Structure 1
Amino acid sequence: MRILICIIAATLLGLPPATHAQRAGSVGGCDIRRGTLCTNANLNGAQLAGVNLANSQFTRSDLSGANLSGATLNEANFSSTELTGADFSGASMVRINLRSARLGNAKLVDADLRNAVLQNADLHAADLGGARLANADLTNARLEGARLDKADLQRANLRAAKLRGASLAGANLQGAILTRAVLIDADLSGANLDQAIFLNAQTQGCTGCP
């Protein structure tokens, strides 16, 4: 029988963060489980490391500062969700919907975002070092000052993305679309640009841009 323990109860019992995150049956009124429906929920700062929230829906919710490191979020819907400063390090986020989500200063190091939808998402100053973003849609995304060092962006759609001052050193941009992207003062040193499209991109002061 599955025991449901909320975050407060777990804290009182002195359980370590990973344990009570896994067993957090209800947080902020949300049933933390795969396929859950938690729209317009307040989960600010929630400890959800390692949980399985695949196919879940968190649209228009507040998860700013939440810890979702190592979580499974495949095909989840986080569109228009507040995720500022959230930690997704090492999370599995394949085909996740983050359209118009706010991820400023978020940690997505080594996260798996293949085929993710990030149209109009705000990722300014986010850390995506080593993240897998092959075939991801980053159309019109805000990535000013973001770190994408050694990220895999093969065939990613970065059309009109704002990458001013972003670091993509050693990134794989093979076949990526950067049409009308803003790459002013960006760093693409050592990046793989084979077959990448830079049509009408703004590249003033860009290191490594064609």
Structure 2
Amino acid sequence: MPTTASSNKSPLAANITAKLQAGESLTNADYSNLDLYAIALNQANLAQVNFSHSILTNADLVGADLRGANLQKADLRGANLQKADLTGANLTGAYLSRADLRGANLKDTNLEGTQFQVTIYDNETIFPQGFNYKSSGAIGPGASLNGAYLNTANLRRVNLTGAKMIGAYLSGADLTGAILDDVSLSGANLQKAIMTGASLRNARLGNTELKGVDFRAADLTRANLDNIQNVAGADFSMVKGLSQQARSAILGFPAPDLTTWNAYTRCNTKDSLEIQP
């Protein structure tokens, strides 16, 4: 029987746990788009429950039956030195696409058939021993995302250190403040991506498509920009670490490319290179 923890912060969470205490079934219930911070649902039968878009930060889901549950875009992060705890939970066939698992504990969970497309994790996320999370479609340090379709994805402040993203499609993705150090982005499409303040130290950007990309205040220290493609409208204002070789290569593009305005930042590529940090 699940326990009602004193950490439940909202009347909604208290109402749900009260139903469980009364023996009511939550199977197939719709709890989408709710704030369920720190809810205690340990050992609960939550098969087919819809938690999509809900806040489950610091939730206690230890041993919960989440078979077929919809957790798409759910916030399962840990906070304040705590973790959203799914230890021993059954997530067979569950949908975790675009969920946030940064700091979550999935130790000993059953992840057979679980969907992880564009699910976010970090160095603090605990996965079951032997689970190949780097090749699951999830996004985080060391992820294998070659050729992945991440167009318009919200990846703000995500840590992708050392990820393999060769030929990935990132057009329109929001990578504001993201960490992309040592990332392989060769041949990727970054058209109109937002990379404001992102760290791309030692990143490999050869043959990338940079049309309209927003690199304002990004860190390109030791980044490889060999043979970059279209730069029309790319904004390099306040960029850090851009080598003189890369700067000269960009300025070698045809004048129409260099004078194309970035529709978002209202600056053209040539002028942006003159705005120093």
Name the TM-score class by shorter chain.
0.5 to 0.7
Return the letter of the residue paired with 1:102: K
Q: Structure 1 segments of 4 or more deviating over 3 A? A: 3-6, 18-21, 49-55, 61-66, 69-75, 81-85, 93-101, 103-106
Contact 1:165 1:185 (C-alpha < 8 Å) held by counterparts: yes
Larger CA Rg, structure 1 vs 2:
2
Structure 1 residue corresponding to 2:133, chosen from 101, 106, 119: 101
Question: Do the aligned partners of residues 95 and 101 (structure 1) sit closer, same or farther apart at CA in structure 2, a change above 3 Å counting?
Answer: closer
Q: Output the CA distance in 1 between the equivalents of 2:206 and 2:115.
A: 25
User: What TM-score does the superposition give when structure 1 sets the normalisation length?
Assistant: 0.59
**Could you tell me the percent identity over the aligned residues?**
28
Structure 1 residue corresponding to 2:158, chosen from 115, 128, 136: 136
Higher relative contact order (CA 8 A, sep 6+): 1
User: What TM-score does the superposition give when structure 2 sets the normalisation length?
Assistant: 0.47
- Name 1:145's counterpart in structure 2: 167
Identify the structure with the greater helix proportion. 2
Structure 2 residue corresponding to 1:67, chosen from 95, 98, 105: 95
5+ long unaligned stretches in structure 1: 11-17, 28-32, 109-117
- Name 1:30's counterpart in structure 2: none
Structure 2 residue corresponding to 1:190, chosen from 212, 223, 228: 212
- Name 2:197's counterpart in structure 1: 175
Contact 1:149 1:170 (C-alpha < 8 Å) held by counterparts: yes
| RMSD over equivalenced CA pairs, Å | 4.6
- Write out aligned runs for 1:1-210 (5 A): 1-2=19-20, 3-4=24-25, 25=45, 34-37=59-62, 46-50=68-72, 53-55=76-78, 56-57=84-85, 66-69=94-97, 71=99, 73=101, 75-77=103-105, 86-88=116-118, 97=124, 101-103=133-135, 105=137, 118-207=140-229, 208=231, 210=250
Count how many residue pairs are aligned between Structure 1 and Structure 2: 178
5+ long unaligned stretches in structure 2: 1-18, 33-40, 48-55, 79-83, 127-131, 232-245, 251-277
Q: Output the CA distance in 2 between the equivalents of 1:200 and 1:87.
A: 31
